[in-house]
Amino acid sequence: MQFHKYDVVIIGAGGAGMRAAIESGQRARTAVLTKLYPTRSHTGAAQGGMCAALANVEEDNWEWHTFDTIKGGDYLVDQDAAEIMAKEAIDAVLDLEKMGLPFNRTPEGKIDQRRFGGHTRNHGEAAVRRACYAADRTGHMILQTLYQNCVKHGIEFFNEFYVLDICLTETENGPVCTGAVAYELATGEIHVFQAKSVVFATGGFGKVFKTTSNAHTLTGDGMGIVFRKGLPLEDMEFYQFHPTGLAGLGILLTEGARGEGAILRNASGERFMERYAPTIKDLAPRDIVARSMALEVLEGRGAGPNKDYVLLDCTHLGAEVLETKLPDITEFARTYLAVDPVHEPVPVYPTAHYAMGGIPTNIHGEVLRDNDNVVPGLYAAGECACVSVHGANRLGTNSLLDINVFGRRAGIAAAEYALSRESHVDLPENPAAAVEAQVALALSEHGQERVADIRTELQATMDANASVYRTEDTLKQALHDVQALKDRYAHISVQDKGKRFNTDLLEAVELGFLLELAEVLVVGALARKESRGGHAREDYPNRDDTNFMRHSMFYKQGEGLSADIRLDYKPVTFTRYKPMERKY
């Protein structure tokens, strides 16, 4: 066991983690622990843009952006947080430009902006050009730019350090976060990092689904660790399905394609979004477009030999727009489906994309331990966190915005908190004991279940029973399946017993997090007997503000993987926007 001492420890090196590190690293002694090399993080897969009301190409203001975000989130958004995000968006984009991000430019040399789903002029009148972008590589450019600036500022990284636990020390005022415990992939050694503050920025858990835009490594580790500590997770039933995944593969094709004018068509060539969202059509928010696509297929209007997808038609955009503004997705379609978007429409179907829920935080990134109190020293930002700026459905581009605005805020808050403490709070006794036991158990001989089998079955049941449309029956089936898989997980076999880069062990540990988070998602979806944003219940098709205008809060009860889940609720923060029916 090795021991380290820092002011701030940041877990995760995607957009949120590195944005936090740039702030924290310049103020306090900071270490970034990351399961992957920083430039491998999935922020790099984001494509279309990052919205901010710069008004570089047409009239816009941050209040409209706030409204769109709240309406897009089906009024489950905490309005104070949305206001902060939309207001700080402008500086967030300008900061990135000053760090060197190569945005596309207008003829005047300003940052160019494009249309995106759900972003409108004057409270829904028409689509507005708000998304700042770099071709269809905006996430790649953000990830690279942030890493470049981490290099510039000499940020200290511990690459391929897989954090498996955090240290909470009980004090008379409740638990305080005092560090993190990591497994070093290269050596199998356990490292304890004592810190005054810890920031989670570990991303999402899309790998609970089979068809997903998410990376293999997005297994909800941070959320899982927090949940196992008895701390709450918020709004986990709200999971976003991005409308345009490459059919059968789930690889993301940016909404920016539709922002540039691409059109969704069914088998007969009809522009079906005109029926579902007459005003902004193909640029309706993702939940609405994904449901519309699923309905087209369910009602027999899907394209292809099995009528199981719809078509994204970019052919009228012309080769130049595709090659200059959408080059990567053009290449994805060519490489993976052998379809050339210049000449033929691309088969697409919704793909599991983004967790609206996560570790509840306030607007400073401080992690909540219940509805009213924070855990001093513990912070979270990005997809693993729930501020909540996305409510029941995130608008496109708002995730890149979220990581920059709240990553920055969490980094500053964590550093300032650390600097305000004279000394480190003592670690709990034997801080590494739980992780050592967990690793030893996984490596011991106790069964013949294969990790891949359990993961495949988990993903199959989640795709079949807990995706775009849900019912009581499908969700009960999913819950039954997940619980049975959790029982089998107790008998997994890890074949690689070595200490050196044991990725077999890593996958086994990741599966434990996936199972737990899948169960939370399903329990939340069962309990929420309404349809709101990304959560669509066929048996409860309407939004029910009387009973469900509130955040879900999930607490783990007891020890072990098969412990129960307690569901509580938290009020939504309103400022100036009253819930209305959501029409586009």
Partner 1 sequence: MTATAETTAGSRGSQPPVPDGAVTVTVKIRRFNPEVDDEPRWDSFDIPALPSDRVLNLLHHIKWYVDGTLTFRRSCAHGICGSDAMRINGVNRLACKVLLKDLLLKGDKQTTITIEPIKGLPVNKDLLVDMEPFFEAFRAVKPYLVTYGNEPTRERIQSVADRERFDDTTKCILCACCTTSCPVYWTEGSYFGPAAIVNAHRFIFDSRDEGAEERLDILNDIDGVWRCRTTFNCTDACPRGIQVTKAIQEVKRALLFKRV
Interface positions with partner 1 (CB under 8 A): 36-37, 39-42, 44-45, 93-94, 97-100, 102-111, 134, 137, 140-141, 144, 148-149, 151-152, 186, 215-217, 251, 328, 332, 335-336, 448, 450-452, 456, 493-496, 498-504
480 appears as a binding residue in the annotation: no
Instruction: Kindly state the smallest distance separating residue 458's Cβ from partner 1, in Å.
Output: 14
213 appears as a binding residue in the annotation: no
17 appears as a binding residue in the annotation: yes
| Beta carbons of 48 and 213 less than 8 angstroms apart | no
Nearer to partner 1, 216 or 583 (CB): 216
| Cβ partners under 8 Å of residue 407, min gap 6 | 15, 16, 17, 18, 19, 20, 201, 381, 382
Nearer to partner 1, 194 or 330 (CB): 330
37 appears as a binding residue in the annotation: yes
Nearer to partner 1, 43 or 397 (CB): 43
36 appears as a binding residue in the annotation: yes
Q: Among 426, 427, 365, 420, which Cα is nearest to 28's?
A: 420
Instruction: Kindly state the smallest distance separating residue 471's Cβ from partner 1, in Å.
Output: 29
Q: Among 523, 512, 504, 521, which Cα is nearest to 487's?
A: 512
Instruction: Kindly state the smallest distance separating residue 538's Cβ from partner 1, in Å.
Output: 31
Q: Where are the alpha helices (DSSP H) in 75-159?
A: 79-99, 138-152
Q: Among 311, 302, 272, which Cα is nearest to 288's?
A: 272
Catalytic residue among 114, 286, 408, 582: 286
Tokens 């902060």 correspond to 84
Active site residue 286: yes
15 appears as a binding residue in the annotation: yes
Instruction: Kindly state the smallest distance separating residue 111's Cβ from partner 1, in Å.
Output: 5
Nearer to partner 1, 93 or 166 (CB): 93
Instruction: Kindly state the smallest distance separating residue 176's Cβ from partner 1, in Å.
Output: 33
Helices 79-99, 398-420: inter-axial angle, 10-degree rounding: 90
**3 state SS of 167:** strand
Report the alpha-carbon angle 198-202-207, nearest 5.
155
| Cβ partners under 8 Å of residue 247, min gap 6 | 304, 308, 309, 337, 347, 348, 349
Cα dihedral 86, 88, 92, 93 in deg (nearest 10): 50
16 appears as a binding residue in the annotation: yes
Nearer to partner 1, 206 or 377 (CB): 206
Instruction: Kindly state the smallest distance separating residue 215's Cβ from partner 1, in Å.
Output: 4
Instruction: Kindly state the smallest distance separating residue 105's Cβ from partner 1, in Å.
Output: 5
549's tokens:
């205008």
Instruction: Name the burial class of residue 581, with classes exposed (0-12), middle (13-18) and buried (19+) by CB atoms within 10 angstroms of its CB.
Output: exposed
Nearer to partner 1, 148 or 279 (CB): 148
Q: Among 352, 273, 256, 277, which Cα is nearest to 311's?
A: 273
476's tokens:
């009960």
86's tokens:
């939309």
Please give, one letter per residue, the 3-state secondary structure of 473-538.
HHHHHHHHHHHHHHHHHCCECCCCCCCCCCHHHHHHHHHHHHHHHHHHHHHHHHHCCCCECCEEEC
Nearer to partner 1, 299 or 323 (CB): 323
Nearer to partner 1, 135 or 517 (CB): 135
399 appears as a binding residue in the annotation: yes
Q: Among 273, 369, 256, which Cα is nearest to 322's?
A: 256
Neighbours of 296 (CB within 10 A): 24
Looking at the chain, the number of H-run helices and the number of E-run strands are: 16, 24
Instruction: Kindly state the smallest distance separating residue 455's Cβ from partner 1, in Å.
Output: 9
383 appears as a binding residue in the annotation: yes
470 appears as a binding residue in the annotation: no
Peptide bond into 268 cis (omega under 30): no
Q: Where is the binding site for substrate, in residues?
A: 242, 254, 353, 394
Residues belonging to the binding site are 12-17, 34-49, 221, 242, 254, 353, 383, 394, 399-400
Residues making up the annotated binding site for FAD are: 12-17, 34-49, 221, 383, 399-400
Catalytic residue positions, numbered? 286
